[in-house]
Amino acid sequence: MADREFGFETRTVHAGSRPEPTTGARATPIYQTTSYVFEDTEAAAAYFNLQEYGNTYSRIMNPSVAAFEERIANLDGGAGAVAFASGLAAQSAVLFTLLRPGDHVVCSSALYGGSVTQFKHVLGKLSVGLEFVDPDDLEAWRGAIGDNTKLLFAETIGNPGGNILDIEAVAQLAHEHGCPLMVDNTFATPYLCRPLEWGADLVVYSATKFLGGHGTSLGGVVVDSGEFNWSNGRFPVVADPSPAYHGLAFHETFGVYGFLTKLRAETLRDLGAALSPFNAFLLAQGVETLPLRMRAHVANAQTVAEFLQSHPMVARVTYPGLPDSRYRSLVEKYLPLGCSAVFCFDLPGGREAGRRFIEALSLFSHLANVGDAKSLVIHPASTTHRQLNDQELTAAGIGSGTIRLSVGIEDAGDLVWDLEQGFSALEAAP
């Protein structure tokens, strides 16, 4: 048993999950506790000194959360993971762990609006430089990297424009300059793509989306490959002795777990964006059906995208799984099982056409989320990407008539019927 390499679907059910030793409970219990009784004073001191591993306080670690972290790290092929209260909390924790004033980050311009705002405004307050680049242009990435660049960041599948990142090429470029590549893999999930296998160093998820899969729980998680050399002379924040731990050098002391330990023991501890035990339980339950759901999501998305592409009232469909997509070769390389289920299409009538279309739908829920088992719809320019200016909207592939769909796992024929109601409403409009 110990030597067997279990399949992905087996690991979605079993990784990180063990029968509870006291009661024999098979489901990982919800350890709804703030704190833990220490064996003795010496053990307590060793835990807080990071000399031994043990539970200290649920803002930093919790058995329910740990089971979820272990499962995601296992599925992604990482050294480990640290979970947070949301995807943006996980992302910001990486930034706080890595960066200091005067550093510089290069980002894809095809990002979720909340990520654009976080990088543009929060990092600006911290005196960290930032440059957005076309994710499809490798030379643009190369030209944006400077001596003080400390991180490259992009999404596997751009939200909502559907850009597919050439992970291997961008990772190689990052490593040539001594930088890590962090990839937001929320849309793909580790079922469709595992960026660490293509050279990415850090993967971040909004577990709120496809990982949880049921629209019930906020959560985020960071997975570290454990392979980046944080002691290459460019990351004193990670490698140098930490004044917050009496001179402890995290990378030297903990090796492949150095970054993760600092992320947990300092950043999570000090920023406090902890994932609740109950949400960790629900998210881990969701992951157990991830392969089943993703197969249904992908199949339905393909059907819906092909229907929209053939419809005379649609100007453009951005689903990268379509045969004529300019990302076809990258899809075959990185996403052979499918391109997830979130994409956009454009209506020629602009914002008013989008309003009429959305309000005529009944199965598609109008809300600001993706990755739910239910099908979802939204108008990005006025909601999820509202903070972006016109230039940033264009760079993200968003127009005034852009509609974003998150295709669920209902019967595909019913989803097509619902979309036809939207088109009928447009035809009936004066």
pLDDT tens figures, 72-103: 999 999 999 999 999 999 999 999 999 999 99
CA dihedral sign of residues 101, 102, 103, 108: positive
Predicted pLDDT at 381: 76
What is the percent of the chain with per-residue pLDDT over 90, rounded to a whole number? Answer: 83
Is the previous residue joined to 243 through a cis bond, with omega within 30 degrees of 0?
no
Q: What is the DSSP letter of 238?
A: H
Paired tokens of 276 = 């609740």
Whole-model pTM: value is 0.94
pLDDT at 1 over 70: no
Predicted pLDDT at 354: 87
Mean pLDDT of 265-288: 97
Q: What is the DSSP letter of 106?
A: E
Fold of the 8-286 domain: Aspartate Aminotransferase; domain 2 (3.40.640)
291-428 architecture in CATH? Alpha-Beta Complex (3.90)
Distance between CA atoms of 200 and 334, rounded to whole angstroms? 13
Predicted pLDDT at 396: 65
- Residues 336-376 pLDDT 10s: 999 999 999 999 988 888 889 999 999 999 998 999 999 99
Question: Across 371-423, where does the E strand assignment appear?
Answer: 376-378, 402-406
Predicted pLDDT at 395: 65
pLDDT at 223 over 80: yes
Give 220-262 as a 3 state SS string: EEEEECCCCCCCCCCCHHHHCCEHHHCCECHHHHHHHHHHHHH
8 A C-beta contact, residue 183 and residue 156 = yes
- Under the banding of pLDDT at 50, 70 and 90, the label for residue 300 is very high
- Residues 16-72 pLDDT 10s: 988 888 899 999 999 999 999 999 999 999 988 888 888 999 999 999 999 999 999
User: Domain ranges in the chain?
Assistant: 8-286, 291-428
Predicted pLDDT at 387: 66
Predicted pLDDT at 67: 97
Q: What is the DSSP letter of 203?
A: E
- Under the banding of pLDDT at 50, 70 and 90, the label for residue 386 is low
Q: What is the DSSP letter of 122?
A: I
